[in-house]
């Protein structure tokens, strides 16, 4: 028993050293986890901030005369930009070619602009796909823009439209709505 009492301080010191080592290890792991989470949160905040700086475009076809296609372009964001080009791409089985057409529009925040007739641009885009002067398909339309103080042009997301060409002339366009899945048998029966 006397031997155990003599060794007691060494046992306490060894247990204390093991506890300090374990707690130091846990603190290091927790600090590393905190650092990683903080880095991810900072990255998300930076990404959100950059996204807020980008213009939020909305493109639609404006009602116009037969054979004429005018676009209505909205800048729904807080920031201004200059639209430099219009891009169009016809969806096809082959690798679709993106065509760019000059367009110079100053787009302040919350601004709406109507373009001139873009039917010739549409015809140039879909010309390889015409069959006897007709074509029905999906046309992706977007803009290329410059942010204020930037020299790097950026493309917007594309807006998809179902477009019809009849006898070599633009006939009509309607937005292509995204597919929405839903339960078909879940309705109320009477």
The model scores a pTM over 0.75: no
Residue 133 has pLDDT above 80, yes or no: yes
- Both tokens of 142, joined, read 């977007």
What are the tens digits of pLDDT across the range 78-129? 888 899 999 999 987 677 789 999 998 888 888 888 899 999 999 999 988 8
Helix (H), strand (E) at residue 134:
none
- Measure Cα distances from 60 to 30, 83, 140 in Å: 51, 15, 11
Distance, in Å, from the CA atom of 71 to the CA atom of 57, rounded to the nearest integer, reads 12
């Amino acid at each position: 028993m006397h031997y155990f009492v003599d060794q007691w301080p060494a046992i306490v010191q060894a247990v204390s050293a093991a506890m300090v080592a374990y707690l130091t290890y846990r603190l290091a792991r927790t600090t590393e986890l905190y650092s990683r989470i903080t880095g991810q949160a900072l990255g998300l905040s930076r990404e959100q901030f950059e996204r807020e700086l980008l213009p939020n475009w909305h493109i639609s076809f404006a009602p116009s005369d037969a054979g004429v296609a005018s676009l209505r372009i909205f800048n729904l964001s807080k920031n201004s930009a200059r639209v430099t080009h219009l891009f169009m791409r016809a969806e096809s089985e082959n690798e679709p070619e993106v065509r760019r057409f000059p367009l110079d529009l100053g787009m302040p925040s919350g601004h709406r602009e109507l373009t001139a007739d873009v039917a010739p641009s549409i015809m140039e885009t879909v010309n390889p796909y015409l069959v006897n002067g007709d074509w029905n398909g999906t046309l992706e339309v977007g803009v290329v823009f410059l942010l204020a103080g930037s020299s790097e042009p950026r493309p917007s997301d594309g807006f998809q439209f179902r477009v019809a060409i009849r006898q070599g002339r633009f006939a009509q366009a309607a937005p292509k709505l995204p597919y929405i899945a839903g339960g078909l048998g879940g309705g109320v029966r009477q």
